[in-house]
Amino acid sequence: AQSVAQPEDQVNVAEGNPLTVKCTYSVSGNPYLFWYVQYPNRGLQFLLKYITGDNLVKGSYGFEAEFNKSQTSFHLKKPSALVSDSALYFCAVSASGSARQLTFGSGTQLTVLP
């Protein structure tokens, strides 16, 4: 079975500061990792994904994520947070041959304070 853990329900950061949203995973086989963002009353929007290759993945809106196989982590990062980044962030995992496709974490509410 595959699973995702987002250990922080809420992350607060000041505008202009770097932000990190944590994610760890558990799968059998090679992991494929995704980050999505959800703004209020909207659907989930794809940010980035890791399939293979470079451990640092760059995505939309200046976000990036680092895949760490030994720590089974895929933390989302941004060097300088904007107030408009405030939203709910979901990490998700799938694995080669996974019949159930994506498994989502519980989500982390990011609040960027002006």
Partner 1 sequence: DAGVIQSPRHEVTEMGQEVTLRCKPISGHNSLFWYRQTMMRGLELLIYFNNNVPIDDSGMPEDRFSAKMPNASFSTLKIQPSEPRDSAVYFCASSQTSGRGTDTQYFGPGTRLTVL
Give residues in contact with partner 1 (CB under 8 A): 32, 34, 36, 41-46, 49, 51, 90, 94-107
CA-angle at 14, arms to 13 and 15, nearest 5°: 120
Q: Tokens at residue 112, please?
A: 């960027």
Q: How far is the CB of 80 from partner 1 (least distance, A)?
A: 26
Nearer to partner 1, 28 or 71 (CB): 28
At its nearest, how many Å lie between partner 1 and the CB of residue 29? Answer: 9
**For partner 1, the closer CB: 100 or 114:** 100
Q: How far is the CB of 98 from partner 1 (least distance, A)?
A: 5
- Indicate the pairing of strand 10-14 with strand 108-113: parallel
Give the residue with the Cβ less far from partner 1, 41 or 114: 41
